[in-house]
Amino acid sequence: LYPASTTKIMTLILALETLPLDQTITIPKAAADVPEDSSVVPVTPGERMTVKDLLYGLMLRSGNDAANAVAVLCAGSVEAFVERMNQRAEQIGMKDSHFVNPHGYHNAQHYTTAWDLALLTLHGLSMPAFVDFLHTTEWTLQKTSRREPLLIQVSTDLFKPDSLFYYQGAWGIKSGYTRAAGLCYVGCADRDSKRLLAVVLNCRT
């Protein structure tokens, strides 16, 4: 099935392995090379910010622009980063997955399975920095030359106590949607000293 923006779990893992969080980077031109209906942070080519702010934009705003920026910063080009994504998928044992971009915008050759996404997420959960990012539901991006400070938040109803869908102990990890992929979600919850991981793809409600 199509993973939509749950793809960004892989992008985050590779970024955390490659880029120091406190490093100040310049957003590359590739950040602007996303389809018009993409979700964006937004980040702008030439804008300077920390890696940490860029990755929060990737995960909390699900920015396709941020995903392309991460790809170039990590591997020199989007294409080289995608190769790295597929290599890592093979190492993890994701036998039924293939990536063609770092963000999950629809492509018929960009696919995975719920099982493979679970394997990927379990790999991420072994990294303390990954867990720290996914426990954060809001973050203020520091002021840059292109904008004022920007508060970004996760809107997932699972985390809201007044929501019909609230689930005690739920946190992370990544939602996604395209018309072809449907509603997708990789979620985690801690309760009674147990950790539960759920992967749901191709939901229509």
- What's the pLDDT score for residue 155? 82
CB 99 within 8 A of CB 14: no
Could you list the active site residues? 5, 8, 62
What confidence category does residue 156 fall into, taking pLDDT thresholds of 50, 70 and 90? Answer: confident
**Segment 159-191, tens digit of pLDDT:** 999 999 999 999 989 999 999 999 999 999 999
**Segment 10-29, tens digit of pLDDT:** 999 999 999 999 999 999 99
Rg for the chain (alpha carbons), in Å? 16
**Which of 21-30, 49-58, 117-126, 153-162 has the least mean pLDDT?**
153-162
What confidence category does residue 106 fall into, taking pLDDT thresholds of 50, 70 and 90? Answer: very high
The overall average pLDDT reported for the chain is: 96
What is the pTM for the complete model shown?
0.97
Name residues whose C-beta falls within 8 Å of residue 61's C-beta, 6 or more positions apart in sequence: 39, 40, 41, 152
Residue found by looking up tokens 């995975």 in the block: 112
Phi, psi of 147 (to 5 degrees): -160, 165
Q: Where are the beta strands (DSSP E) in the chain?
A: 24-26, 48-50, 138-141, 150-153, 170-178, 182-191, 194-203
**Segment 78-101, tens digit of pLDDT:** 999 999 999 999 999 999 999 999
Average pLDDT over residues 192-200: 96
- What's the pLDDT score for residue 172? 87
